[in-house]
Amino acid sequence: MVEVQFRFRDDEAVNDAAVTVDAFVADGFAQTNATAVRIEPGDDARALLPQLDRLALIEVNFPAWTDGRGYSSARLLREAGYTGEMRAVGDVVIDMLGHLQRCGFDAFAPDKALNPDDAKNAFARWDNVYQATVVDGRQAIWAKRHPA
């Protein structure tokens, strides 16, 4: 199992074996009682929606960091109300850490351990953000410009 190198949650880490999306949804979600799912780039994350509450861990795999589908998967699952651990696994690179976090990831298990100082800088890089992703809890610049 690849180590979770960075985690931004207070609760205990979930280390259940993650099943595939197909396995999770099979037989009307009855095939498995898994509480962890691993999403591949080609999966439809919304297939999980009917039983999102069961999940304590969602791993989103990035076989290559240049395949950005996992960002949408994570964010839309957060939009749907998922509050468990959202873990980025695979080719997780320093320069995307901040962006991953803004899409709702709160745990990072890169294939190759990252330089911790570079990672710290990356997470802290952007004092402000132009967009509201909502799921990161950050206020967009336009909200700061126009306090409600």
Partner 1 sequence: MYKYDEYDQQMVDTRVAEFRDQVRRRISGELTEDQFKPLRLQNGLYLQLHAYMLRVAVPYGTLNSVQMRLLGDIADKYDRGYGHFTTRQNIQYNWIKLDETPDILAELATVEMHAIQTSGNCIRNISSDQFAGAAADEIIDPRPYAELLRQWSSFHPEFLVLPRKFKICVIASETDRAAMRLHDIGIKMVKNDAGEIGAQFYAGGGMGRTPMIAPMIRDFVPLDQLITFAEACLRVYNRYGRRDNKYKARIKILVHELGRDEYVRQVEEEFAHLLTQPIEPPLAELERIKAHFTDPAFDAGASDDLDLSDPDFRLWVQRNTQAHKQPGYIVATISLKPIGGIPGDASADQIRLMADLGRDHSFDELRVTHAQNIVLPHVKKADLYTVWKALDEAGLATPNLDTVGDIIACPGLDYCSLANARSIPLAQKISQRFASPERQAQIGELKLKISGCINACGHHHAGHIGILGVDKKGVENYQLSFGGSEGADTSLAKITGPGFDEDGVVDAVEKATDVYLANKQGEERFLDTYRRIGMDPFKEAIYG
Residues that bind partner 1 (CB under 8 A): 41, 65-69, 71-73, 75-76, 79, 93, 95-96, 98-100, 102-103, 115, 118, 121, 125-134, 140-146
CA distances from 96 to 14, 62, 93, 134 (A): 23, 11, 6, 18
| Min dist. Cβ of residue 113 to partner 1 (A) | 13
| Min dist. Cβ of residue 69 to partner 1 (A) | 6
Q: How many Å separate Cα 44 from the centre of its chain?
A: 15
Residue tagged 């240049």 (tokens): 66
- Pick 96 or 109: Cβ nearer partner 1: 96
Return the bridge partners of 86, or none. 58
- Pick 26 or 143: Cβ nearer partner 1: 143
Question: Are the beta carbons of 9 and 85 closer than 8 angstroms?
Answer: yes
Strands 19-20 and 36-39: parallel
- Pick 53 or 95: Cβ nearer partner 1: 95
- Pick 9 or 67: Cβ nearer partner 1: 67
